[in-house]
Amino acid sequence: MYQAPLPPEYATLTTDDARTRIIEAKRQLGTRIVILGHHYQRDEIIEHADYRGDSFKLAKDANRHPEAEYIVFCGVHFMAESADILTPDHQKVILPNLAAGCSMADMANLFQVRNCWRDLEKIVREQIIVPVTYINSAANLKAFVGEKGGTVCTSTNAPKAVEWALSQGQKVLFFPDQHLGRNTGAKMGYDPERDMVVWDPHKPLGGNSEEQISTATFILWKGHCSVHQRFTVEQVEAAKSKHPNIKILVHPECPIEVVRLSDLNGSTEFIINTVNAAEPGSAWAIGTEINLVNRLAKENPDKTVFCLDPMICPCATMYRIHPSFLLYVLDKLVAGEPINVIEVPQKTKDFAKVALDRMLTLV
């Protein structure tokens, strides 16, 4: 989405000035606002968050303060949409920078998914396909899934969601992240070579034959996270050879070769809880976003914690929530002129809520 440039007096603020003014604006707004901060946000944002979490936790936290008029979501666009769907109509959700999207979510759109669904239905007439969308997807895709009897999932509950989907039908269409789908299926005992095909939306039949589609249990959308796909087998081997007692802990959005070589894998909350609960003196190479890894290292000074990829960059879109953007939307709220309100159309909301509510029951 298009984000208008900040007025010059905000664009040129120092970090310290922005910090002082955010604290003051927050004080003035009091219980009228709740600030949610995703773990991948920079420290200068996280320090102002009333709740921090991954997308699953924040989807639940969004509902904790029905008295608040505004939920300021320091995350990316699909998260703000989910918060708008899950909260009552009197609450408005604000995204401080409208350009904070998610490159993975952008890899599947409604037109492409509808075409895929139509092709699949023609091929697998006797079998029921259940769509499962990762929460990292646009609201209209969540609505599509709700309408077709599927569910939303997160990296926390993906195995439960897929298990549920396979109790409803014989095949799962999993989008937009092929890696989470593949890792989840493999964890459940399915063979990626035999039981899964990848659907490339730019090729006829996703680049598969009718027979391949008929025999597969998983149809995995060809999407990925630009942050997590960067982790490699070579990085795991280098970490292990430098630190013999290292534990490798990665997110399931990483490629399956990396997940297979890791000691543990799981959602962002799982990664945080595992490191926090680890023995003092233990060493961890983490395969996830760098802001989170650096914060974990700071909050666990008795352990060695570092990123598996020494060259990794932050999630570029999460990074667009700069303190000046947060301050600007807060100042506008103080002035009674809310901006950057995320509003999902009612019809989309209704079906998307079906799929999101199902997600919240599959814990």
| 170 C-beta neighbours (distance < 10 Å), count | 13
- The verdict on 104 binding ligand SF4 (CB under 6 A) reads yes
Exposed, middle or buried, 349 (CB in 10 Å: 0-12/13-18/19+)? buried
Contact window for ligand SF4 (CB under 6 A) among 64-72, 301-309, 314-322, 327-335: 314-322
Closest distance of CB 157 from ligand SF4, Å: 16
Is residue 208 a contact point for ligand SF4 (CB under 6 A)? Answer: no
Tell me: does residue 212 bind ligand SF4 (CB under 6 A): no
Residue closer to ligand SF4 (CB basis): 40 or 175: 40
d(CA 156, CA 253) in angstroms, rounded, equals 12
Q: Long-range contacts of range 191-200, CB-CB < 8 Å, 24 or more positions apart?
A: 192/256, 196/220, 198/222, 199/116, 199/173, 199/175
Tell me if 289 contacts ligand SF4 by CB under 6 A: yes
Window of 99-107, 123-131, 277-285, 328-336 that interacts with ligand SF4 by CB under 6 A: 99-107
Residue 133 DSSP SS3: strand
- Say how far apart CA 146 and CA 134 lie, in whole Å: 13
Instruction: Please tell me whether residue 76 binds ligand SF4 under the rule CB under 6 A.
Output: yes
* C-alpha–C-alpha distance, residues 227 and 246, integer Å: 22
Shortest Cβ 102–ligand SF4 spacing (Å): 3
If we measure between CA atoms, which residue out of 361, 353, 304, 327 comes closest to residue 72? 327
The reply to whether 227 sits near ligand SF4 by the rule CB under 6 A is yes
Does residue 315 touch ligand SF4 according to CB under 6 A?
yes
Nearer to ligand SF4, 104 or 116 (CB): 104
Of the two residues 40 and 199, which places its CB atom closer to ligand SF4 in the complex? 40
Pick the closer one to ligand SF4 by CB: 40 or 231: 40
The verdict on 158 binding ligand SF4 (CB under 6 A) reads: no
CB of 252 to ligand SF4, least distance (A): 12
Q: Which two tokens stand for residue 101?
A: 């999207």
Contact 75, 46 (CB under 8 A): no
State the number of binding residues for ligand SF4 (CB under 6 A): 13
Spatial CB neighbours of 98, under 8 Å, sequence gap ≥ 6:
1, 2, 3, 77, 340
Instruction: Supply angle C-alpha 313, 316, 318, rounded to 5.
Output: 115
Q: Does 318 bind ligand SF4 (CB under 6 A)?
A: yes
Q: How far is CA 34 from the centre of its chain?
A: 20
63 lines the binding site for ligand SF4 (CB under 6 A): no
Q: Which is nearer to ligand SF4, 184 or 208 (CB)?
A: 184
Q: Which residues lie near ligand SF4 (CB under 6 A)?
A: 40, 76, 102-104, 136, 225-227, 289, 315, 317-318
